[in-house]
Chain A
C-alpha cells in the first residue's frame, strides 16, 4: 500500500515533547476527551434539586440501573460502592473516547511536513499504549482486590493447588496464565477493534468515498458502545471472580 496514498501507521505520531516525554496525538485527544468529561460531569452534578428536573431524573435512573447491576454482581452494597466509580469511569471514558473518533476534526486537521499530514487528533484507543494503560489499571485492580479481600495466602491458593494431585496443580497454573493473559486480551481487544475500524474506514474512503462508508460508520458506532460496555463488564466480572473464595474438592466447570 506504499504508493496508494494511504498512510496507516501502527504507532501514534509524535507531535512534540513536554518535559522530555513525547506527546503523541492520541494523548492530546485523550486530554480533550477527559476535559469534556470533567466539564460534563461538573455541569450535570452542579445543582441537584430535591424535586428533580427531567434531566436529573434521567441521569439518576441511569446511575441507579448500573449501580444495581454492579451490586447484583458483587454481592454487597459496600463492595458496589467501592467499585462502581472505577467501572463507570472506565465505561464512560472508553465510550466517549470511541465516539469522539467520529468528529470531523479527528484525522484531518494536522501539521504538514512536506506532503505528509501528521494529524492533530487520532482515535484514543487506536494507540496500543492507551489501551494497555487501561488494561494495566483493570488488571491491578482485579489482583489487588482479590489479595485484599481474601488475603495473600488464600488468594494464592487459587493458583497453587497442592492438595489435588498433578491435575490440580496444572489447573492452578493454567488459571495463573489465564489471569495474566487478561492484560493482553483487554488491551488487544479494544486496540484491535478501534484500530481495525479506523483502517477499514481509511481504505473505504480511499476507494469509495460516497455512501458506502455510512453503514460502516454506523457499525463502528455500535462497536464503540459494545467495546466500552465489554471492557467495564469484564472488569466487573473478573473482580467478582477474584473475590470468590477458592473451591474445594469438586472440579469446577468454567
Chain B
C-alpha cells in the first residue's frame, strides 16, 4: 500500500473511530444536565458550570484522537 494512501486511511480511521466515544459521552452529559436543570431550576448555575467542565474533559479525548490524526497525516 502506498504510504500516502495508508496515511490518509489511517487519519480517517483514527478520527472516525476516535470521536464515537466522546460523542456518546457528550450526549450523556448534556442529557443529564438538562434533566437536572429541569428538576431543580434554581441550581442551574452550578449545573451549567459543572456541565462545561465535563464537556471540556470529554472533548479533550476527542481532541486527542484528532491530534493523532493530524500527526499521522502531516508528518
Q: What residues make up the interface of A, taking CB atoms closer than 8 Å to B?
A: 1, 8-10, 185, 188-189, 191-193, 195-196, 199, 226-227, 229-230, 233-234, 237
Contact = CB atoms under 8 A, between A and B. Distances in A.
Contacts of A1: 73
Given A230-B52, A230-B53, A191 B67 contact: yes
A189 B60 contact: yes
Given A188-B63, A196-B66, A237 B74 contact: no
B63 A199 contact: no
Interface of B: 49, 52-53, 56-57, 59-60, 63-64, 66-67, 70-71, 73-75
A237 B57 CA distance: 13
B70 to A, nearest CB: 6
Contacts of A195: 67, 70
B60 A188 contact: yes
A234 B52 contact: no
B30 to A, nearest CB: 14
Nearest to B75: A10
A188 B67 contact: yes
Contact of A234 (B53, B59, B73): B53
A231 to B, nearest CB: 9
If over half of A's interface residues share one DSSP class (helix, strand or loop), that class is named, otherwise mixed; here it is helix
Contacts of A233: 49, 52-53
Given A10-B70, A10-B71, A234-B56, 9 more contacts: A1-B73, A9-B74, A185-B60, A188-B64, A189-B59, A192-B66, A196-B66, A226-B52, A227-B56
20 contacts: A8-B74, A9-B74, A10-B70, A10-B74, A189-B56, A189-B59, A189-B60, A189-B63, A192-B67, A193-B59, A193-B63, A195-B70, A196-B63, A196-B66, A226-B52, A227-B56, A230-B53, A233-B49, A233-B53, A237-B53
Most buried by B among A192, A226, A234: A192
A1 B49 CA distance: 40
A188 B71 CA distance: 13
B1 to A, nearest CB: 17
A189 B60 CA distance: 5
Contacts of A10: 70-71, 74-75
Contacts of A229: 52
B70 A226 contact: no
